[in-house]
Structure 1
Amino acid sequence: MPFDVDTYLKALGHRGPADPTLKTLRSLHHRHLTTFPYDSALNAGRGTALWAGVDIDRDAAFDEIVIGGRGGVCYELNGLFRILLEELGFEVGVFGAGIRQLDGSFGPDLEHVFNHTRLDGALFLVDVGFVGPSYLEPLCVTTEVQRQYGNRFRVVPVDGRHVVERSGRSGIWQAVYRFRDQPRDLAEWQEPSAELADFARALAGAGILVRGRSFGTGQRVLIGKRLLTVDDGHESVRVLTDPAEHERVVAEILRTAAPAESPR
């Protein structure tokens, strides 16, 4: 089915005003994250060409994700949402980010594709394609602390970049990812740098699948067999050693089976 704004809004369950305001953006952002899951399995077999389709076919992606109900990766989910916001009158641009790795380092600046917009003179980060844990509503680029669903966020300038930081109920601040306040062109991903190509090779070699979905007050992130749940700022981690349980959780996140209750 071709891209259609009314069908998109209906899929999101959005019935209020669709004007280009922060209130509308917050509602759409949160609903998008709870409606469409992240699924890195879609990158299986792409090798180093992880970002080859970054300039999405809007109709095909809409038909497969919004109508078909499959998950997506960062550039698909954020690409569709960017088109929706543009159709609604928002002025939207693209950013690239390097995600914090397990050892505390950051990936390449173009590892992640997400959006931004300006409203009332303020710059907001718009990201419905990051598996989390992260912000469920748009994040203003400011060092001031912003609270969302039991979590605190801030955007801190460091060495010419901005770092998005998050703190849950534990009170410990951790980086989510870093980015440059520099609008990007999708062509930058279609001709990747050597650093980005090397990163893609390492990622493909690891073979670890990542799935995630948000719910009303948090997120569930499944990295391989490691399940991280964030709910109202409280975090819990479990390793799913039972294959049947792992399969069930994957089905719940992707909603290929009846969804479970919001986890606690």
Structure 2
Amino acid sequence: MPFDADVYLKALDHRGPAAPTLDTLRALHHRHLITFPYDSALNAGRGTALWAGVDIDRDAAFDEIVVGGRGGNCYELNGLFRILLAELGFDVGIFSAGIRQMDGSFGPDLEHLFNHARVDGGLYLVDVGFVGPSYLEPLRVSGEVQSQHGSRFRVVPADGYHVVERSGRSGVWQAVYRFRDRPRDLAEWQVPSAELEAFARTLAGAGILVRGRSFATGQRVLIGKRLLTVDDGHETVRVLTDPAEHERVVAEILRTRAEDAR
């Protein structure tokens, strides 16, 4: 089915105004994270060509994700959302980020593709393609602390970057990812990059699938068999050792039947 903004809004169960305001952006952003899951299984087998499809076919992606109900990766989910926002009249563009790794370092600058929007004189980060835990609503690029559903966020400068930091109920601040305040062009991902290829080989070698989807007050992130739940700022981690439970959780996140999620 070709891209259709009205069908998109219906899929998001958005019943309010669609004017390009901050309230609309907040509502759509949260609903998108609740409705469409992130699924890294879609990258399996792509090897070092993880970003080859970054310039999405809008109609094909719309038909498969919005109409068909499958999950998506960062550039698919954020790409579709960027098209929707542009059609609604928002001033939107592309940013890229390096995500904080387990050892505290950051991935390559082009590792993650997300969006930004300028609304009412403010610059907001718009990201519906990051598995989390992260912001559920647009985040203003500002050092001020911004509270969302029990978690706090801020955007702080560091070494020429802006770093998105998050704090849950524990009060400990931790980086989510870093980005440069410079609009990106999709063509940048098409230029051969030894850094990106090496990073892609690392991801492929790990072989760990990551799935995630949000709910009204938080997020569920399944990394392999490790389930992280953030609810109203409270974090819990559980390892799913029972294969049947693992299948059930995958199915719940991806909104599929358990047998389809294997």
Task: Please say whether Structure 1 and Structure 2 have the same fold, judged by a TM-score greater than 0.5.
Answer: yes
Measured after TM superposition, the shift of residue 185 of structure 1 is 0.6
Measured after TM superposition, the shift of residue 162 of structure 1 is 0.2
Q: What is aligned with 1:62?
A: 62
- Cα distance in 2 for partners of 1:139, 1:193 equals 30
Structure 1 residues 101-124: Cα deviation after superposition (integer angstroms, max 9, x where no partner): 011110000100000011121110
Measured after TM superposition, the shift of residue 129 of structure 1 is 0.2
Find the residue that maps to 2:64 and give its secondary structure.
helix
Q: What is aligned with 2:74?
A: 74
- Aligned CA RMSD, in angstroms, stands at 0.8
Measured after TM superposition, the shift of residue 191 of structure 1 is 1.8
Please list, as runs of the form range in 1=range in 2, the aligned pairs for 1:35-184 lying within 5 A after superposition.
Answer: 35-184=35-184
- Cα distance in 1 for partners of 2:25, 2:91 equals 12
In structure 1, give the amino acid aligned to 2:76.
E
Mean alpha-carbon deviation: is it higher for 173-182 or for 186-195? 186-195
Q: What is aligned with 2:34?
A: 34
- Cα distance in 1 for partners of 2:15, 2:253 equals 25
- Cα distance in 1 for partners of 2:238, 2:232 equals 18
Q: What is aligned with 2:229?
A: 229
In structure 2, give the amino acid aligned to 1:169.
R
- Cα distance in 2 for partners of 1:190, 1:239 equals 38
Q: What is aligned with 1:262?
A: none
The answer for unaligned runs of 5 or more in structure 1 is: 259-264
Measured after TM superposition, the shift of residue 14 of structure 1 is 0.5
- Cα distance in 2 for partners of 1:165, 1:151 equals 10
1:196 is the counterpart of 2:196? yes
- Cα distance in 2 for partners of 1:185, 1:227 equals 34
- Cα distance in 1 for partners of 2:230, 2:56 equals 30
- Cα distance in 1 for partners of 2:190, 2:237 equals 36
Q: What is aligned with 1:21?
A: 21
Structure 1 residues 25-49: Cα deviation after superposition (integer angstroms, max 9, x where no partner): 0000000000000000000110000
- Cα distance in 2 for partners of 1:250, 1:190 equals 32
- Cα distance in 2 for partners of 1:202, 1:233 equals 31
Count of paired positions: 258
Measured after TM superposition, the shift of residue 176 of structure 1 is 0.3
Structure 1 residues 91-148: Cα deviation after superposition (integer angstroms, max 9, x where no partner): 1100000000011110000100000011121110000000000000000000000000
- Cα distance in 1 for partners of 2:218, 2:201 equals 31
In structure 2, give the amino acid aligned to 1:58.
R
- Cα distance in 2 for partners of 1:40, 1:218 equals 20
Measured after TM superposition, the shift of residue 50 of structure 1 is 0.2
Measured after TM superposition, the shift of residue 257 of structure 1 is 3.3
In structure 1, give the amino acid aligned to 2:99.
I
TM-score with structure 2 setting the length: 0.97
Structure 1 residues 190-237: Cα deviation after superposition (integer angstroms, max 9, x where no partner): 224211111011111111000000000000000001000000000000
Structure 1 residue runs of 4+, over 2 Å off? Answer: none
- Cα distance in 1 for partners of 2:232, 2:16 equals 25
The answer for unaligned runs of 5 or more in structure 2 is: none
- Cα distance in 2 for partners of 1:192, 1:137 equals 33
Q: Percent identity?
A: 86
Find the residue that maps to 1:20 and give its secondary structure.
coil
